[in-house]
């Protein structure tokens, strides 16, 4: 994999972990701009979310952790990108929830609302292929799988976390194993202060937002592995060269099974 030509400290990127509690601050927001960066935890309404985003900023890529489908898609739409990651080894390691029933439908609606909130902040782009809003730079992040596919199989032999703590378990192991540093190297992102902030983060929502930010960075540099289809949308993942062998094998098996 060639080193990206994009200088990530010269552009603006935004990552959002969708939260939709009406009373609790369950949204995570992380941004980087001209070498500066910040993460915050806030609420679902735009008035309070906007307070944590640099004013008058147009972002090269905005990555949202939440199921993004085409405008007008049926609530019952079964997404290939989700089906690919609920099979085989993914099932116990980093599977998504299905967004076409139950709680998943609520999250899908919250993700759509979030995309509409920030669409005016996204630079128009034809370079970001497979964006869920054609011509924009708004994409879907999947932090659990982003981290999960990077971890060596030996990590999953260690004591597992409960379902509610799964992401934090993955994050802790990503920090401990050094795979977060590997992503920075692949991106040629030399901002060691940002890497240190990500490594030290303990807040759940902020952690998720940081991984959304890394997802945006992979996309803007053109090194993402993009998984899904035109009908159901796409997961934007780290470059396949960084995936652990078990993850590459599991994705290939899923593709063959669903072909």
Exposed e or buried b per residue across 76-112, where buried means at least 16 C-beta atoms within 10 angstroms of its C-beta: eeebbbbbbbebbbbeebbbbebbbeeebeebbbbbb
How far apart CA 17 and CA 196 sit, in angstroms, is 20
Is residue 203 assigned to a domain? yes
Residue 2 domain-assigned (yes or no)? no
| Stated pTM of the model | 0.95
- The answer to the question of residue 134 being in a domain is yes
Is residue 13 in a domain? yes
* Domain membership flag for residue 1: no
Residue 259 located in a structural domain: no
Look at residue 147 and tell me if it is in a domain. yes
Number of domains in the chain: 1
Q: Please state the φ and ψ torsions of residue 196, each to the nearest 5 degrees.
A: -65, -40
Structure token pair of residue 119: 């669409």
Residue 167 lies in a domain: yes
Q: What is the pLDDT along the chain (259 residues), one digit of tens a residue?
A: 676 778 999 999 999 999 878 889 999 999 999 999 999 999 999 999 999 999 999 999 999 999 999 988 888 899 999 999 999 999 999 999 899 988 889 999 999 999 999 999 999 887 788 887 888 899 999 999 999 999 999 999 887 766 568 999 999 999 999 999 999 999 999 999 999 999 999 999 999 999 999 999 999 999 999 999 999 999 999 999 999 999 999 999 999 999 8
In whole angstroms, how far apart are CA 46 and each of 18, 63, 123, 211?
12, 17, 19, 21
For 213, the domain range is 8-254
């Amino acid at each position: 994999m060639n080193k990206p030509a994009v200088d990530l400290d010269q552009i603006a990127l935004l990552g959002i972990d969708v939260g939709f509690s009406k009373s609790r601050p369950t949204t995570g927001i992380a941004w980087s701009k001209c070498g500066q960066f910040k993460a915050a935890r806030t609420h679902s309404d735009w008035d309070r979310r906007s307070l944590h985003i640099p004013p008058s900023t147009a972002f090269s890529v905005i990555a949202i952790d939440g199921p993004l489908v085409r405008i007008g898609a049926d609530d019952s739409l079964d997404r290939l990108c989700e089906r690919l990651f609920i099979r085989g080894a993914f099932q116990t390691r980093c599977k998504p929830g299905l967004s076409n029933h139950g709680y998943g439908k609520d999250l899908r609606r919250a993700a759509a609302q979030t995309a509409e909130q920030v669409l005016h902040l996204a630079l128009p782009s034809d370079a970001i292929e497979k964006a869920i809003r054609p011509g924009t730079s708004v994409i879907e992040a999947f932090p659990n799988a982003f981290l999960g596919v990077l971890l060596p199989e030996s990590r999953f032999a260690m004591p597992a976390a409960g379902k509610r703590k799964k992401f934090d378990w993955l994050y802790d192991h990503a920090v401990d194993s050094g795979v977060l540093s590997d992503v920075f190297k692949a991106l040629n992102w030399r901002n060691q202060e940002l890497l240190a902030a990500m490594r030290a983060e303990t807040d759940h929502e902020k952690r998720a937002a940081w991984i959304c930010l890394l997802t945006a960075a992979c996309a803007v540099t053109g090194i993402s592995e993009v998984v899904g289809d035109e009908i159901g949308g796409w997961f934007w993942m780290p470059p396949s060269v960084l995936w652990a062998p078990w993850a590459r094998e599991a994705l290939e098996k899923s593709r063959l099974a669903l072909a």
